[in-house]
A and B are shown apart, each in its own frame.
Chain A
Amino acid sequence: KAGVTQTPRYLIKTRGQQVTLSCSPISGHRSVSWYQQTPGQGLQFLFEYFSETQRNKGNFPGRFSGRQFSNSRSEMNVSTLELGDSALYLCASSALLTGDGGYTFGSGTRLTVV
């Protein structure tokens, strides 16, 4: 079966712009969570959606937002981009409410802010 699909794979944006990243989970998975990975801060949790509801949010400014659609696909948006937002953004999907079934990650979107 198809894995977790993240688009685009690479993105270059200018400071001050906004960006939208997409994540399509494994078919049947209803939980999608997002992570930011940087050399300095490592992997940090952004937020998680389950059945179109945000269940959990990490410690990020309000410029970072997300949503989930009825088909479980998720998008995250970053407004007013800053140089420090340059990172690999990973999404993970899970089948179960509690995540006991494990998490499958996508290949990530590498965002560069110039």
Chain B
Amino acid sequence: AQKITQTQPGMFVQEKEAVTLDCTYDTSDPSYGLFWYKQPSSGEMIFLIYQGSYDQQNATEGRYSLNFQKARKSANLVISASQLGDSAMYFCAMKDWAGGGNKLTFGTGTQLKVEL
């Protein structure tokens, strides 16, 4: 069964600094996708970045980049130049294709607080 582990319940970062949110995963399927979502207090899940298991390069989307280390089964999110608006809950999620259908398995999340 697939599993996502986020070991940082909470993180603090100074505005304009970079921060890394950790995510490790476990799956027996060689084909899978990894997602990061941001959830502000309003509740909506906002898609940030995606990495496919066969992608050769690490994904980047603006200030977000994914540090994908396949052998270590880790997919850490790096946020550069943090802004106050980045304060939110961040979830790592995985979809593997072994189970069929569209089902995401989520980690427990990391609460990020950006400080002045």
CB of B60 closer than 8 Å to a CB of A: no
Q: How far in angstroms is the closest Cβ of chain A from B16?
A: 29
Interface string of A25-60 (1 = CB under 8 A from B): 000000101010000001101001010000110100
Known: A31-B102, A48-B103, A56-B103. A102 touches B44 (CB 8 A): no
CA distance A25 to B55 in the complex (A): 28
Distance from B54 Cβ to chain A, minimum over Cβ atoms (Å): 11
Chain A CB within 10 A, most for which of B42, B52, B102: B102
Residue count of chain A within 8 Å CB distance of chain B: 26
> Is B44 in contact with A107, judged by CB distance below 8 angstroms?
yes
Contacts of B105 in A (CB 8 A): 45
Inter-subunit contact B108/A42 (CB<8 Å): yes
Return the 5 tightest CB-CB contacts between A and B, nearest first.
A56-B101, A105-B45, A55-B101, A43-B106, A99-B102
CA distance A48 to B99 in the complex (A): 12
Nearest CB to that of B93 among chain A residues? Answer: A43
Cα A107 to Cα B40 in complex, Å, equals 10
Is A90 a contact of B45 with CB atoms below 8 Å? yes
Interface residue A98 (Cβ < 8 Å from any Cβ of B): yes
Nearest CB of A to B105, in Å:
7
Cβ of A66 under 8 Å from chain B: no
Measured CB to CB, the nearest residue on chain B to A109 is B43
Contacts of B37 in A (CB 8 A): 105
